[in-house]
Amino acid sequence: MKPVQSLTVNSELLPHILGEGGLFAFSGWDGETNARSEFVATWGEPRLSLLFHTPQRRWLYIPAQEHKVRFVTGDACVLEAPGEGPGTKLAYAAWHTLIGETPHAEACLLSFEQPRQGLLTEQTGRCSITVDPVANDAIVLVTRGPRFALAYGVTPEEALGKAEQGLSLQAEAVIEERLGIYRSIPVLASERESRLLRKCVSVMKVNTLAPEAERKRYWSTPDRVPHKHMWLWDTVFHSIAMNRLSPQISADCLMTMLEAQTEDGMLPHQVSVTGKASGITQPPIMAWGVWENYRHHGDRAWLAETLPRLEAYLLWNRRHRDTNGNELLEWDIKGDVLCRSGESGMDNSSRFDEADKQDAVDFNVFMARDLGYVARICRELGDDERAVNWEQLAKRTTELIVQTMWDAEDEFFYDVRMDGRFSKVKSVSGFLPLLLDGLSEEQVDGLIRMMKDERHFMTRYPLPSIAVSEPSWSTDMWRGPVWINMNYLVILGLRAHNRPEEARWLQERTIELVNRYYEAYGVTFEYYDSKDERPPVACDRKGPRKQPYNIRAKYDSIRDYHWTAALVADLLWPAEQH
């Protein structure tokens, strides 16, 4: 294949594995987005095919199956043809227009996934038109020589006009624009890890959206398909690595979440682009996210703007999530056996199988930590008196965790039932007190012994969300798999307690796990089998997986998951730039 002449980015280090279910869409990083259109694609089987997740899904087939992937990001792709012939290039020119070049563009095919009565399809020469009158959308494919353009519009005429404009654009120039973000990404000693870092940045970029509708600032989503909305603790995890790429976009994403706050102070766990919000919350880690972001830009006015919202949210938790009045908080529990506690973020964890409220280790650790960060923010803004109150609450919460949730016999932290007994389900949440200052050396040693115990948490890829010794262990979400956000928090805790060897060990195992399955499947996954007996695509998710892979039929194996990418990116980032 002839080289792409204009690239100023080293394409040898870009991600180069095209995986089924990988996201392909225009990013808010580069301009306007439109989440309501659902004009977002995922790579399909067979290659090269893209599935567009509009209300009535469409397939785009590109006749270049024999071409080899040179690189593929979340919004641009270049494939090499055998020999010296022209290859295939495609990239988003705008949220509504995908352009490309391929030797046999006239053979590109656009069709509805499931043709049915009422859906309109028209083929006229070099133009294919698909119209969904119910969703009020049209997608048009136009070709001219080796060029093609696919465009979205409310009407066929609008879509056709955008596609015709797309044909006038040079694919190489558009690809160069899409790759601009990678110019500032550091090159690591390991080529594999350099490529993984760029894959992570690609996932972060494609899941970042521009202001739209009720959202006046940038915002982020766990995955453009299927979750597509904004989520509370996900937003914070996304911001951790976005701080390195754009502190301002990161600040916007955090503020967008804070602006979803209700009048009584609650932060909902999920908010749609139109402003519709859920009635439950999620782990209180927002003050941590705000502080980490502030460290990268130093804007005190922005910090001051966040403070009243952060305070109101922590007070809401204290008023509404302490039903027994003992100063320790309990998650909201539902009757849904597949999601007892969506509020905890650990939806179907076997911690909640009995469907009873309990003082939760993770909730209280997050709360104590965020109380401390609010105190830190107050001091940074010069309000020492206000800071003292929050510091006292943080200290009191930490003392209660250590006094009431530590089982000296098992050397582990457990949730506590309303009658004061331990709920002895060994969960990764039991390691989260490492994030607090109030632990003794003996407690830290005990937690590390538990971590390294092959009977419980020392799996091929630690840390399992539920210990393998628990009868409920499985590969189903929070009932056993490894979640990267939990490993990341435990790594931070180990560092905080000056245990660099253990922190480095867990960091290396975490990176290797994500890289292994990126190289096998081309995506970052939501979670991973801690025993490594099943690939992520074969893990259960709120019940047995369903084949073939189809997220409209069942949410299985969420791919190009944002916080996995963001937190691994942060772990990969060179230490001297931390």
**Structure confidence by residue, pLDDT tens digits, 275-327:** 999 999 999 999 999 999 999 999 999 999 999 999 999 999 999 999 999 99
Separation in Å, CA 152 to CA 61, 131, 362: 16, 10, 44
Residues facing residue 153 across a β-bridge:
138
Element of type H or E holding 89: strand 88-94
Q: Comparing 514 with 64, which gets the higher pLDDT? A: 514
Residue 364's nearest CA partner among 411, 418, 404, 420 is 404
pLDDT at 52 (0 to 100): 99
Report how far residue 515's alpha carbon sits from residue 536's, in angstroms, rounded to the nearest whole number: 12
> Model confidence over 522-545: pLDDT tens digits?
999 999 999 999 999 999 999 999
User: For residue range 193-220, what is the model confidence (pLDDT) as tens digits?
Assistant: 999 999 999 999 999 999 999 899 999 9
Q: How many CB atoms lie within 10 A of CB 305?
A: 14
Q: At what angle do helices 286-297 and 232-245 cross, to 10 degrees?
A: 10
pLDDT over 90, % of the chain: 92
- Whether residue 172 is predicted with pLDDT greater than 50 in this model: the reply is yes
Q: Domain map of the chain by residue range? A: 11-184, 199-207+452-578
Q: What is the pLDDT of residue 38?
A: 98
Q: How far apart are CA 109 and CA 516, in angstroms?
A: 34
Which pair of structure tokens corresponds to residue 158? 């609008």
Nearest to 512 by CA among 482, 468, 542: 482
- pLDDT tens, residue by residue, 95-150: 999 999 999 999 999 999 999 999 999 999 899 999 999 999 999 999 999 999 99
Q: Residue 359: in which H helix or E strand, if any?
A: strand 358-359
pLDDT at 9: 82
pLDDT level of residue 577 (50, 70, 90 thresholds): low
d(CA 514, CA 516): 6
Alpha carbon distance, N-terminus to C-terminus of the chain: 40
- Mean pLDDT, residues 30-34: 98
Banded model confidence at residue 6, pLDDT cuts 50, 70, 90: low
